[in-house]
Amino acid sequence: MAVPTTRSQTATKPAPRSLVDRFSVVLVAVAATMWASDVYFRSHLVHLTASEIVVVEDFLITVFLLVFLVRGWPEMKRMSWRGWLAMILIGVGPQAVATLLFTQSFKLAAQHQLFAETYVLQQTQPLIAITLAWIVLGERRRLWFWPIAALAIAAVYLVLFASDPTAPISALQHGEVEVGLYALGAAALWASGTVLGRFVLGTLSFQTTTALRFTIALPVLVVVVLTQSGIAGFAQYRPGDVVPFLGIALIPGLLALLLYYRALASTPATLATVAEMAYPVAATIIATAPAVAVFGQTIFFGQRLYPAQAIGTLLLIAVIALLNWSKERTPPVIVQQEAAA
C-alpha cells in the first residue's frame, strides 16, 4: 500500500551550477517577453490565416532543430510511455491547438468588441498551471506564495485594463460563450504545456524537448490547414514572406523556446507560470511603443501608455525577481507516493 510523503525539492536537486540555473525564473520571463515580438513579424503576413502562419513557422523550426532531434535519439529511446504521452500532448495542445483557439477567440471578440473577455480569461492560465503542477508534479507551494501570485495577477490586470478597469466585468456580463470557451481552452492548454514540459525535462535535454515539440506539432498543423482551406491553403504565400517567416521562426520561436526550456529545467512549474505572465505585459507595452521600421514597413500601434501600466509592469518585474531570489531558499514541497514497508 502506498503512503504519501513529502520532501523538499532541494533534497534531490543539486545546487545551481550556472547563471542560467541561478536566474532561471527571470529567464523564463525573458523568453515569454520574446514571444511578444512576433507582432512585428506577423504584421507583414496579414494576408495569411493564423494556421497558415503557424505551420510554416513550425516547419522552419523543425528543420533548424533537426540536428538536435537526431542527437537526442538515445534520450528518446529511454523515455517511458508517460514521457511520450506528455510530449505528444505538448506538441498537439500548447504548440498547435492552443494558438488556434486563442486566435479564434480573438476573432470572435473583435466581432462583438469583447477583447476584455478574451484577455481576462487568458489570465486563468497561472491558476490552471498551479493546479496541474499540484496534481501531476506534486508541487505544493508554501503559504507566502499565494499573495505573491495574486499580486502578479493584479499587476497584469493593471497593464491590460489600465484604460478601463471595469471592462472585464462588463465583457463577462454581456459576453459571448464561444469567446470565453476558446480563451479558456487556450489558457488550459498553455498551462498544461508548462507542467508537462517540466515533467518531460526530467528525462530529456532542453534541446531534444524543443525539437520534439515542434516536430510532433507539424503534422497536426498541416491537417488543420488542409481542413480549413484545402490544398489552396498552401498557395497563399508570397516571395516577400520569406524574411518575416525567418524572423518569426528564429526569435519568438526557436531562440525563445530553447531559452524557455533551458530555464524551465531549473524552475518549478508553479514559479514558471507566474514568470510567463510577462508575455501579455510585453505585448501590451509593445502596443504603446514608438513607431518602428521593420523590413521597410513602419509599424505603429498608437496605443496610449497609462501610469497604471507602468506601475503594473514594475510590480510584475518585482514579483519575478522575488520568486527567482526565493527559488532555492524556499523550494516547493513535493508530495510523493512511496511504498509502505
pLDDT band at 12 (very low <50, low <70, confident <90, very high): very low
Break the chain down into helix, strand, coil percent, rounded to 5.
70, 5, 25
In a domain, 12, yes or no: no
- pLDDT of 325 above 50: yes
pLDDT, tens digit (0-9, with 9 covering 90-100), for 101-152? 887 777 777 676 666 777 778 788 999 999 999 999 988 888 889 999 999 9
In a domain, 252, yes or no: yes
**In percent, how much of the chain has pLDDT > 70?**
84
The confidence score (pLDDT) of residue 218 equals 94
In this structure, the number of other CB atoms found within 10 A of the CB of residue 162 comes to: 20
Tell me whether residue 158 is exposed, middle or buried, using C-beta atoms within 10 angstroms of its C-beta: 0 to 12, 13 to 18, 19 or more. buried
In a domain, 94, yes or no: yes
In a domain, 203, yes or no: yes
- pLDDT of 65 above 60: yes
In a domain, 281, yes or no: no
Rounded Cα–Cα distance for residues 128 and 142 (Å): 17
Average pLDDT over residues 85-109: 86
Higher pLDDT, 121 or 29: 29
pLDDT band at 332 (very low <50, low <70, confident <90, very high): low
Residue 278 cell numbers, joined: 510577462
Residue 328 cell numbers, joined: 532555492
Taking the alpha carbons of 279, 41, 113, 98 in that order, is the dihedral positive or negative? Answer: negative
The confidence score (pLDDT) of residue 8 equals 43
Alpha carbon distance, N-terminus to C-terminus of the chain: 9
Rounded Cα–Cα distance for residues 317 and 311 (Å): 10
Hey, which bits of the chain come out as E strands? 2-8, 139-140, 292-294, 297-299, 333-339
Give strand pairing partners of 8: 333
The confidence score (pLDDT) of residue 4 equals 37
pLDDT band at 317 (very low <50, low <70, confident <90, very high): very high
Lowest mean pLDDT among 217-226, 229-238, 267-276, 325-334: 325-334
Q: Which of 219, 224, 109 is nearest to 167 (CA)?
A: 109
Rounded Cα–Cα distance for residues 30 and 158 (Å): 20
The confidence score (pLDDT) of residue 339 equals 41
Rounded Cα–Cα distance for residues 213 and 215 (Å): 6
Average pLDDT of every residue of the chain = 84
- Domain, as residue range, for 245: 23-145+164-268
- pLDDT of 174 above 80: no
- DSSP string across 84-133: HHHHHHHIIIIIIIHHHHHHHHHHHHHHHT-HHHHHHHHTTHHHHHHHHI
In a domain, 333, yes or no: no
Yes or no: say if 83 and 136 are a contact pair by the CB < 8 Å rule: no
Higher pLDDT, 113 or 169: 169
Count structural domains, the chain: 1
Lowest mean pLDDT among 103-107, 109-113, 221-225, 285-289: 109-113
| Per-residue DSSP letter, 42 | H
| Per-residue DSSP letter, 175 | -
In a domain, 121, yes or no: yes
The confidence score (pLDDT) of residue 340 equals 39
In a domain, 306, yes or no: no
Rounded Cα–Cα distance for residues 292 and 301 (Å): 10
